[in-house]
Structures are given as structure tokens and as C-alpha cells.
């Protein structure tokens, strides 16, 4: 195949975005899952090489945020993208409904606590965007407050970027039919039944409202330093391929280098030691 095109999934900052322009079933002509798996493995090798240098240099960090509708494949995408990497340099945080302690703080408090230190790759399974998405769809906060949250998010992400964190935001875009198939699979498979939540069906009933809320998020919060990408996600291997490619491209942009030793290796001729 030719070079994978990720630019077609890029959300241009400051422009309205229409989710209907991205086909959830798109695979850019790749129809052989076995061939895609091999490309996913190649991306993991690329990421692994650069992760070693990122960890050694301790000059920058990467924050990958993954959003999706329920059953959108967040967990499996993270697993396929990061398997085999040095766990010492990986930090994965899953954000569920806020705890009572988290609710006593501002909505970014728990997010900031999970921001990566320099040298790390952090993955957020869901993120602070839940506080504008769910709040908007379920009317959990007044519109003026939600508008302020967008500004707070942009300021927060700019601050992280200014201090060396490279941000990558991905929305795994599935179709309603694909989601329904995933729900049925979870209910029928005893090993996956634990993943099903009756509340997921309620969110499914608000599908159109969520699509509009996501489009607003993309318009309000895609930036050069913190871009959004809408990744077709019906095919589990293709979505992992695209996310891995985006992560590899982010690391290549950073171009981390091994630090120079603070001593002269010639002073330690280990071959002469007994």
C-alpha cells in the first residue's frame, strides 16, 4: 500500500466540522486484516524505538487522549497500540464518573493530576471533554458554564504544551449499527457481559445530540498544538493502525535524542576489568 493518509482525519482549527464527512467504515482500501496487523506491528516498533529516546531524554512528554461513544474500541485500541512498549514509560488513566472527592474540585483537577511527566507517554481513556459532552447532552451544567469550560480546556492544553507536553486527541468514530453489534456481542458473550451497562442504551438514544456535541468540541478545541483527529473505527485493526501512525508521527516530530553521558566512556575501559 501507499503511505497511510492521516491528514484526511485532521480537524482543521477554527473551522466547523461535519462528522458525516468521515465514513466510520473507511479503511483506505485495506481489506485484509492480516496485512493491517503487520502494519500495526511495524508502528509499534517505530513507537518503541522513539519511546526509549523520549524516556532517556526527559525533555518532553506525550499525552494521547482517546474519546469514543460507548463500545467504540478505546480499550482495545490502547492495547494494540502500546503492547510491547516499556511499561516504565507508559501511563494509562481511565476516567469514569467523578468520585465524591473529584466533584469537590474543579473539573480539570483530576486530569491535571494524570498529566505526564517529562519522558512519559500518557494515555487518557476518556478525558476532560466528558465535562462538556455529557454536561451539554444531559443538561448537567448551564450553557454559559459549558462555554467557559471550553476556554478553560484550551488554556489548560496550551499550558501543558508550553511546558513540553505534546498533545494528540483522537475520536474513534463508529456507526450506530456497529455499536449495536458490539452491544449484542457483549450481552451474548459471558466473558464480555461485564462491560455492558444499561446506561449505555440511554446514551445511544441521544446519538444525534452527542454527534453535535462532538462537532462543537472539535470546532472549539482543535488547535495546532493540540489537534483533534476523527478516526474511522468500525474496523478494529484499521483504527489501531491510524492511532499508532499518529502517535509515531507525534514522536517523530519531537525527535527525542539520547542524552550525552556526563563522563568520558574512555575513562572506564571495562575490557580491562576483572
Q: What is the mean pLDDT of the chain?
A: 94
Specify the pLDDT at position 208: 96
Cell triple for residue 257?
535524542
Find the mean pLDDT for residues 27-53.
96
Higher pLDDT, 266 or 176: 176
Contacts of 228 (CB under 8 A, 6+ apart): 10, 11, 169, 170, 171, 217, 218, 221, 222
Task: Write the pLDDT tens digit of every residue in 189-212.
Answer: 888 888 888 877 888 889 999 999
**Residue that is written with C-alpha cell 496487523 in the block:** 37
Q: Which CATH class is domain 15-26+34-256?
A: alpha beta
Task: Write the pLDDT tens digit of every residue in 97-127.
Answer: 999 999 999 999 999 999 999 999 999 999 9
pLDDT beyond 80 at 2: no
Bridge partners of residue 166, in order along the sequence? 62
pTM recorded for the entire structure: 0.94
Tell me the CA distances in angstroms from 54 to 61, 164, 174, one per residue in order: 7, 12, 32
Amino acid at each position: 500500500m501507499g503511505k497511510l493518509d492521516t491528514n484526511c482525519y485532521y480537524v482543521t482549527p477554527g473551522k466547523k466540522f461535519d462528522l458525516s464527512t468521515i465514513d466510520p467504515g473507511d479503511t483506505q482500501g485495506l481489506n485484509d486484516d492480516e496485512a493491517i496487523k503487520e502494519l500495526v506491528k511495524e508502528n509499534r516498533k517505530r513507537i518503541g524505538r522513539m519511546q526509549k529516546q523520549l524516556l532517556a531524554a526527559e525533555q518532553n512528554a506525550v499525552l494521547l487522549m482517546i474519546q469514543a461513544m460507548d463500545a467504540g474500541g478505546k480499550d482495545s485500541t490502547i492495547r494494540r497500540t502500546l503492547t510491547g512498549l516499556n511499561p516504565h514509560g507508559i501511563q494509562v488513566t481511565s476516567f469514569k464518573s467523578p468520585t465524591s472527592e473529584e466533584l469537590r474540585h474543579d473539573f480539570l483537577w483530576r486530569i491535571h493530576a494524570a498529566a505526564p511527566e517529562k519522558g512519559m507517554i500518557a494515555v487518557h481513556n476518556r478525558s476532560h471533554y466528558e465535562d462538556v459532552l455529557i454536561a451539554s447532552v444531559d443538561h448537567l451544567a448551564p450553557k454559559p458554564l459549558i462555554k467557559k469550560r471550553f476556554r478553560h480546556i484550551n488554556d489548560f492544553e496550551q499550558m501543558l504544551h508550553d511546558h513540553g507536553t505534546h498533545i494528540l486527541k483522537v475520536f474513534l468514530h463508529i456507526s450506530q449499527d456497529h455499536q449495536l453489534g458490539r452491544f449484542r456481542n457483549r450481552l451474548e458473550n459471558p466473558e464480555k457481559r461485564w462491560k455492558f451497562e444499561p446506561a449505555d442504551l440511554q446514551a445511544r438514544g441521544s446519538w444525534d445530540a452527542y454527534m453535535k456535541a462532538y462537532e462543537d468540541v472539535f470546532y472549539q478545541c482543535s488547535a495546532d498544538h493540540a489537534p483533534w483527529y476523527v478516526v474511522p473505527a468500525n474496523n478494529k485493526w484499521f483504527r489501531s493502525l491510524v492511532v499508532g501512525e499518529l502517535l509515531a508521527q507525534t514522536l517523530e516530530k519531537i525527535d527525542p535524542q539520547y542524552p550525552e553521558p556526563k563522563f568520558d566512556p574512555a575513562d572506564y575501559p571495562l575490557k580491562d576489568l576483572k
